[in-house]
Amino acid sequence: MTNWFAIGMGSKNSKGDWLEVFYPKNLINPSEELTLKAKELVSYREGNFTSSIPSDLVQDIAKLSKNFSSLETERTVLVFVDSKLPPNDVPSCYLRLHLLSHRLVKPNEINLEDIFTLMPTVAWTSDGPKDPKELNDILSDKKINNEAIHIHSLDKFPCLTDYVVPEGVRIADSHRVRLGAYLGEGTTVMHEGFINFNAGTLGKSMVEGRISQGVIVGEGSDLGGSSSTMGTLSGGNETLISVGRDCLLGANSGLGIPLGDRCVVEAGLYITAGTKVEMIKSNSKVEEIKASELSYKDDLLFIRNSLTGAVQCKPNPKTVNLNEELHSNN
C-alpha cells in the first residue's frame, strides 16, 4: 500500500508551528467510508495533503475516538500521504514514523527524504513537547510557581513508547528506541540496545547493540553488547547494511557489510566493506578478498587471527539459537 489517510492530534509552538503529531492506530486508514468522505470534504485528489479537520467529519471521528471531539481544533490534523513521495511537512513526517512503528510498512519501504530538514528539534519534557526557543520562559514560569519540569532530551525524534507500544516486545530502556523504529514481535531490547528510526528487527531478536538508520535485522539474530551496525547516516552511504536470520554479532563487534543467514562475527571485530579478509578452507589460506565480496553470503564465521592479526573467514559450523522463553514476551 502506498496511499495512507490518518487523523491525528499534536502540539504547536507559540507561533503555531507543528512540533509533533500523534496518530491513534484506529485513525490510520480507519475505513473506506470515512476515507471517501474526508476526500470529498477537503477536495483531495492525489499526493501529500495536510488539512484541518472539517466540522462535518468530527462526529464520525468521535465514534472511533471518544475524546477526539473535545480537542481544540488547532491541535487536530487530517493527513493524506503518498509513501512514494517525500514528506512535505511535520504531520506527514510523523505519520510515516507511526506507519513504521505500527509495522504497517517495513524499513526502507517508505520515502523519508529530507525528514531531518522538516522535523524540528523539540524539547521532550515531563510537561509535554516544547519549543527549545521557548524553554527559558517556561523554566522561569515553573520556578516562580514552584513547579517542577524535567527535560528528557532535545531531539528531532521522540521516544517510541510515548507514541506507539508494539505488541510482543520488551524494551529495557525505552529512551534508546526512537519513534520510527520497527520492532518485530518477540524482540528484546536490553538496556544498552539502541534502535534508530527506519530500522529494526523482523522477528524474534536479542538487541544489546546498535541498529542504525536503514539497518534491518533478520529473525533469530543476536546483537551482542555494544555491537554496532553501520547505517546510511553514519558512513554506510548508499549501501544498506542488513543482518540475516540466525546471526550473531559478538560484543563490541561492528558490521559494515550486509550479512547473509547464520553468520557470526567474533567479539571485538569490526568489518567494513574494504576490510581485507583471508578466506580459509581446510585450515589453509585460500585467497585474500575484500569483505564486500562476502555480502549476503550465508554460513560464514568472521574471526581475527590471534597471531597475525589478520581478519579471516571460514564456514560457520554452528547455529545461533535464541531462548524461546526469553523472547515469548507475553
CA geometry: angle 14, 16, 21, nearest 5 deg:
110
Contacts of 12 by beta carbon, 8 Å cutoff, 6+ apart: 18, 19, 74, 75
Q: Which long-range contacts (CB under 8 A, 24 or more apart) does 54-60 make?
A: 54/78, 60/34
* Residue where the block lists cell 543476536: 222
C-alpha closest to that of 31 among 71, 2, 69, 60: 60
Euclidean distance between CA atoms 318 and 116, whole angstroms = 41
Cell numbers that stand for 30 in this block: 480507519
Kindly name the residue from 192, 208, 219, 266 that is annotated as catalytic: 208
Half-sphere exposure of 201 (CA within 13 A, CB side): 34
Contacts of 40 by beta carbon, 8 Å cutoff, 6+ apart: none
Phi–psi pair at 268, nearest 5 degrees: 85, -5
Identify the helix (H) or strand (E) that includes residue 248.
Answer: strand 248-249
| Residue 33 designated active-site | no
Strand partners, 268: none
CA geometry: angle 90, 93, 97, nearest 5 deg:
135
Which one-letter DSSP state was computed for residue 43? Answer: T
Known catalytic residues are 208
